[in-house]
Amino acid sequence: MVAGRLADCSDAAGHDGVTTEADHKGRRLGTPAGRDFAAAADSAPHGGKVAGSRAVGSPTVASGANAWSVWVRVILHDHPHDLRRVRLCGQNDLCGRSVPWWNWWKSRRYIVTLMGFLGYFIIYSLRASLSLAIIKMTQKVNVTFENGTIMEIQEFNWDSKDQGLILSAFFYGFTCTQFLGGILASRFGGHIVFGLGHAGSSCLAILSVPVAKFGFYPFMAIRILVGLFEGVTVPSMQQMCASWAPIYERTIISGIVNAGGQVGVFVSFLVSGVLIQHLGWESGFGSIWFVIWMIFIKKNPASDPRISEEEKTYIESNIVVMNNQGKGHIPWKSILTSSAVYSVIICHACDSWSSYTFVTLSPTYLRDVLGTDLGTTGFLSAAPYLMFIIVIFITGPLSDYLRSSKILTTQQVRKFGVGIGFLISGLFLVIMSNVTSLPAISSCLIIAIGVSAISKMSSMANPLDFAPTHSAIIIGISYTFATIPGIVAPTFAGFIVQNGSLSEWQTVFYTAAGVHFFGTIIFSIFAKGEIQKWSEDTTSTQ
């Protein structure tokens, strides 16, 4: 065994860094998981303890473990010197079958993560494409008639106020079903609610193309319907993370799933900009939805027939479950009076103000201030989301490592994450508002959106920390309020930016920066990282 790669394997056991009775029982019974655990311990230095782990009750913290080893541990199987075969696991040995590393897809929780990533990728790409499509839809072009007359026309005669209302229409529907989505996911399972919401929103988004030709109000109506279906996807995916993500993999699994949305925005801005310019704006909605979610993804590990017993044991040993599941008991009074819940609500609302401003308005801003063409606008709008993705894959494992190794508490990790993301992003919004060169604006936009990944990831994972079994409902409540900025921000910008001048755009971005600073203060004061008593009353740690 390479004991150093087993660092922190007992941190996840029992959730408090001590080896659980299940671990010792596995050794006594001689189960495969128990034998692996025993072999690791017996071959490790330090008196037979697994390096980096603790004896029962010992506060010793592992050293030398890298951030990525928090998510994927390498445990040699059968042949200590055969590096071709590895065990894919999380924080301990009770994780899953021994498979070649390239067969990671045999781990069911990673399949759930990947499918969640792809699901968000598709619906976010369809959502973001309108931000570029509306530029082409309202673009004025000169048409020369046979008699020599030149006339300036546009396919859709929508001014800046109309465009702001159209970009906001999606969020009217999106707001209405967030809360409902949380309740439905808790009752019927996140996999069903997410799948149906995804299918409905994707199909309606494609129908937006022909409906727009019927006029402003029909187009507004179908965008609202798209939002209604998509509104249930966020809380239902939160329920899936609560059911499938072990305690010390929450940040990275939640982060990867949510990164799918940013990858969707990135690809949509990058590809749709070129397609719209050369093939017509309709191709911006030409994505085809094909997801096999309903066939292969199940509600939780216990209901998945394809999961190995070892991985199921590992996941169920490192999550919390509802004691009275199926009885429908929800501690509404405690949820609605919890300062931790309100800190998440305010944090998400502040994050949404800036993120919706970026997604819906950055293409228009680049056109107005820099005068870029549609292809360049699409590329420059996409670049920041590539940085967003990179930041998630770096800071996600790092956050989980800081928690599992006890360098920082969960509460500290979440507060630092939100603070760093909000403050740096807000600062570069202010800087961007005062520069006019293409390289400077692009750099500021990339940094502002990129570092916001830290705050996004921290705030999304936080309900899993203090109320995991009610996290879908909390996210549903939170995003009900958080989508209000999706309505207000584009509409606000539409009324402010009448002429496309730099001073008008400064007002828009100064406001977004101020919202960030406010969110940092509130979350730093009221956020919690430990399971709240009112949540403990309806949960147990398996």
pLDDT of residue 237: 86
The alpha carbons of the chain give a radius of gyration, in whole angstroms, of 25
pLDDT digits (tens, 9 = 90+) for 352-398: 888 877 766 777 777 777 777 766 776 777 778 788 888 988 888 88
pLDDT of residue 407: 92
pLDDT of residue 295: 66
Res. 6 pLDDT band, cuts 50 70 90: very low
Higher per-residue confidence, 217 vs 270: 217
Query: Which segments within 67-159 are labelled E, that is strand?
Result: 85-87, 98-100, 140-144, 150-154
Q: Which two tokens stand for residue 39?
A: 């072999």
Res. 537 pLDDT band, cuts 50 70 90: low
Q: Which two tokens stand for residue 185?
A: 């996911």
Res. 401 pLDDT band, cuts 50 70 90: confident
147-161, 229-243, 510-524: lowest mean pLDDT where? 147-161
pLDDT digits (tens, 9 = 90+) for 317-354: 766 554 444 445 788 899 999 999 999 999 999 988 88
Decide if pLDDT at 86 tops 80. Answer: no
Decide if pLDDT at 52 tops 50. Answer: no
pLDDT of residue 90: 40
Res. 143 pLDDT band, cuts 50 70 90: low
pLDDT of residue 516: 92
pLDDT of residue 299: 73
Identify whether the C-beta of residue 384 lies closer than 8 Å to the C-beta of residue 448.
yes
**Mean pLDDT over each residue of the chain, to the nearest integer:** 72
295-304, 454-463, 520-529: lowest mean pLDDT where? 295-304
Res. 286 pLDDT band, cuts 50 70 90: very low
Decide if pLDDT at 306 tops 50. Answer: yes
Cα-based distances in Å from 491 to 128, 162, 485, 508: 16, 9, 9, 11
Decide if pLDDT at 126 tops 90. Answer: no
Amino acid symbol at 329: H
pLDDT digits (tens, 9 = 90+) for 425-436: 999 989 988 888
Higher per-residue confidence, 499 vs 537: 499
The length of the chain is 542
pLDDT of residue 292: 60
Decide if pLDDT at 25 tops 60. Answer: no
112-121, 204-213, 409-418: lowest mean pLDDT where? 204-213
Res. 416 pLDDT band, cuts 50 70 90: very high
Decide if pLDDT at 95 tops 60. Answer: no
Percent of the chain scored above 70 by pLDDT? 68
pLDDT of residue 321: 53
Q: Which two tokens stand for residue 179?
A: 């809360």
Say how far apart CA 536 and CA 538 lie, in whole Å. Answer: 5
Decide if pLDDT at 483 tops 80. Answer: no
pLDDT of residue 108: 78
Mind listing the domains of the chain with CATH numbers? 103-142+155-319 (1.20.1250.20), 338-541 (1.20.1250.20)
pLDDT digits (tens, 9 = 90+) for 267-280: 777 776 555 554 33
Q: Which two tokens stand for residue 178?
A: 């967030």
- Residue 213: how many CB atoms within 10 A of its CB? 11
pLDDT of residue 519: 93
Give mean pLDDT, residues 531-537: 79
pLDDT of residue 61: 35
Residues 6+ apart with CB under 8 A from 343: 522, 523, 525, 526, 527, 528
Q: What are phi and psi of 144, to 5 degrees?
A: -100, 125
Pairing label, strands 98-100, 140-144 = unpaired
Q: At what angle do helices 484-496 and 471-482 cross, to 10 degrees?
A: 20
Identify whether the C-beta of residue 10 lies closer than 8 Å to the C-beta of residue 17.
yes
